[in-house]
Structure 1
Amino acid sequence: MAGRPDVAALQRILHNEWGANEHVDWAAAAARLGSSLPADYRHFMAVYGGGCIDDLIVLPPLPTGNGWQASISGHKGGFRELWAMEGGVPGVDLGADRVLPWGSGCNANEMGWLMAGPDPDQWPVIVWRRHGEPRWALFDCGMAEFLRRLMTAGFDECPLSDLSLWGRVGTFVHHEEQERRFHAGLDPMTGEPDPYAGMFD
């Protein structure tokens, strides 16, 4: 997976200081999910891991064991239910078994892939927007390029119904670092002291 230009371009704007190699068992992930996953996503997991870009959650493929981070396998059912309920992307005649999530958040937007063929590297990104019509939209790019273009305003308009990362580079924090900060009484994303720490344990 070395030398992926899409992930390298993302790294030029999104620092991975608080990232960590997720050390994914990709064979186990493929068996659990019924498919291998795109190479840019796998490289992202090696460089950044699962975690958050501000309010946008990037899901690791499988549960991490600490209960802090959601996963693709855990999020898959709800994502596919949304596709079935909302009718999917207009003009796309594929069932809910052909979509798979990779991200969530930013005011309840959902991001995933349309499994449009046997080669995961050719899967386009699909997005469910909480607000706006149509709810589902398709973007002919991979996950890493989608994130870069979101944060550099590289689409004709914001692909999400939330502008918090539109034209603005967020901060990535791996889920283990978020959990460490939380238990230390710090804000999981900023690392600053949290005045509400311990109030809701």
Structure 2
Amino acid sequence: MPEPRAFWLDEQFDREHGTDGRGRYEAEVLRRIDEFDVTWGDIAPVEFAATAWRIAGELSPGFVRSHRRIVSATCTRSPWDGSMVCAVTVVSGWPAELTWTKQWQRDRGWRDWPQLFGQFTTPTEQDQTRSPHLRAMLQVQAPLPLDDLPPAPDGPDDSVAVTARRAVAVLARELNDLLAPMIGQLEAGVPADS
């Protein structure tokens, strides 16, 4: 079975729903160009790429799409050394310590993540009044390589939207390389071989 994708760009939807010959993401970058002001001419491409990623995720639906197990994903500049770091929240099953016996449950009807059409959802207020929920999540924090990130533009010109799109594509690829094996293992639902 092929490994699932953790992140990908929805290029088709972006083009189909763009205006004035531009994709939605390109138009949004140009509309919010002032959010890149602190990045112009930066020797490191990190802050520019982080801003591009944030804007891509704020579109609805997002320009960057993610696997159903991804709850959130941020890419930011590390305050420690200026490198690129990510913080990703991933839906997980209960830890093995809670699945090998149901003794801890004491017949209280504990429930896992609710799902609606295959998507993990938050329990409704009504659900929360009926039974307890234990929704396990993994918090992934990791560095991301800078090698393929495009340089930050020198100023607000016609290249900004194209450069932002390229930066987002690189980050999506790096996050996919990092997280797709984990997502595949979680989807398989069985412990990995030792």
| TM-score grouping bracket, smaller chain normalisation | under 0.3
Between 1 and 2, higher relative CO (CA 8 Å, sep ≥ 6) is seen in 2
Q: Who wins on radius of gyration, i.e. which is larger? A: 2
